[in-house]
Amino acid sequence: MDIFAQQLINGLVLGSIYALVALGYTMVYGILGLINFAHGDITMIGALVALTIVQALAAAGMPAPVVLIIAGGGAMMVCAALGLSIERVAYRPLRRAPRLAPLITAIGVSILLQYSAALIWGKQYIAMPKLLEPAAIDIAGAQLTTLQLAIFLLACAIMAALLWFIKASRMGRAMRATEQNPDVAGLMGVNTNTVIAFTFVLGSAIGAIAGLMIILYYGIGHYFMGFMLGLKAFTAAVLGGIGNVGGAVLGGLLLGVIESLASGYIGDLSGGVLGSNYRDIFAFLVLVLVLVLRPSGLLGQHSGDRA
């Protein structure tokens, strides 16, 4: 079953990246009840910033680990600043507005980010300079590259750290309190504005790392890459139960695995009638099925009339 093992590995690696992006969606949704449509594009900006830094530094002949750390740090800072200002300018003034109003500004910001990126980096695909020569490890007849392993482990470490942070730290407790009831949290002395701003910064910084991983994995960047990535990540967040941080991790991994298994097997199963170009459908079909059977996602609680 080496195809199975191979697709499982690919799926887990891809899924861990989806999960990182999904965390940004789910944290914001949990606290504000807002689909931050621009999050996928923040990830794209992170990816392209990292790519630019790598191009510049790799040309200067710096060693690969140093380049990657600087690129990751730079991308995180740019994205954190971006997330902070988007929250401040586009979402905060609309916090008491009808629910769909911030959704439209989010779409506006998303378009704004995409075409700003198109102006800065152009519309062509940008190739990532080859930094690493990943070695391949043989597991159960399938190949796992060291790059895949590193991405997966780093993603898991970030997710574990985030779960711990939300559970144990003072800021994490403030985030949970704000999520349950912003007004009461405010009365208890939580500065909800700071908490919300912090959530955006945290989500965007994690998105930046996911962006770096994506360009390392695929070796290519593009101004529109945030769109499908954001869509998949949001699907993952909903799959796990949106607003639930653990659910985003589960949903992301699950979506990645389902997608790569489906695209690996669909050709054989349907006798060559359906090709792997149907793989995007699979993600959505699973989503529809899960939601029909469990309307609030795998780990979500019944939200009652929160709609």
Partner 1 sequence: MSWSALFTDRRWRWIAWSAVALLLLALPFIIEALLGRSWVRIIAVALLFVMLALGLNIVVGFAGLLDLGYIAFFAVGAYSYALLASPQFAVHWPFLVLLPLGAAIAAVFGVLLGAPTLRLRGDYLAIVTLGFGEIIRVFLNNLNRPVNITNGPQGITLIDPLQMGGFSLAHTHTFAGLTFAPVHNYYFVFLVCAVLSIVLSLRLENSRIGRAWIAIRDDELAASSMGINTRNLKLLAFAMGATFGGVAGGLFASFQGFISPESFHLIDSIMVLCMVVLGGMGNVAGVVLGAVLLTALPEALRYIGPLQQRWLGGVIVDPADLRMLLFGLALVLMMLLRPEGLWPARRRRVAPVHTGNADVG
Site residues (CB under 8 A) for partner 1?
29, 35, 89-90, 93-94, 96-105, 107-116, 118-119, 123, 231, 234-235, 238, 242, 273-275, 277-278, 280-281, 283-285, 287-288, 291-292, 295-297, 303, 305-307
Which residue, 53 or 232, has its beta carbon nearer to partner 1?
Answer: 232
What are the CA-CA distances from residue 166 to residues 79, 162, 247, 250 (Å)? 21, 6, 14, 17
Sign of CA dihedral 26, 27, 29, 33: positive
* Smallest distance from partner 1 to CB 149, Å: 32
What are the CA-CA distances from residue 188 to residues 135, 170, 174, 243 (Å)? 53, 13, 10, 22
* Smallest distance from partner 1 to CB 126, Å: 16
Which residue, 200 or 234, has its beta carbon nearer to partner 1?
Answer: 234
DSSP string, 106-166: HHHHHHHHHHHHHHHH-SS-EEPP------EEEETTEEEEHHHHHHHHHHHHHHHHHHHHH
Which residue, 120 or 136, has its beta carbon nearer to partner 1?
Answer: 120
Which residue, 123 or 167, has its beta carbon nearer to partner 1?
Answer: 123
* Smallest distance from partner 1 to CB 286, Å: 9
Q: Are 15 and 257 in contact (CB under 8 A)?
A: yes
Which residue, 170 or 302, has its beta carbon nearer to partner 1?
Answer: 302
* Smallest distance from partner 1 to CB 305, Å: 6
* Smallest distance from partner 1 to CB 263, Å: 13
Which residue, 113 or 155, has its beta carbon nearer to partner 1?
Answer: 113
Distance in Å from the first CA to the final CA of the chain: 44
Comparing C-alpha atoms, which of 82, 22, 55, 99 is closest to residue 219? 55
Which residue, 163 or 231, has its beta carbon nearer to partner 1?
Answer: 231
- In angstroms, the CA 52 to CA 75 distance is 10
* Smallest distance from partner 1 to CB 210, Å: 20
Residue carrying the six token digits 């979506």: 255
* Burial (CB count within 10 angstroms: exposed 0-12, middle 13-18, buried 19+), residue 4: middle
Which residue, 28 or 131, has its beta carbon nearer to partner 1?
Answer: 28
* Smallest distance from partner 1 to CB 10, Å: 21
Residue 3 half-sphere exposure toward CB, CA atoms < 13 A: 9
* Smallest distance from partner 1 to CB 77, Å: 23
> Facing residues of 138 across strands?
143
CB atoms under 10 Å from CB of 46, counted, come to 33
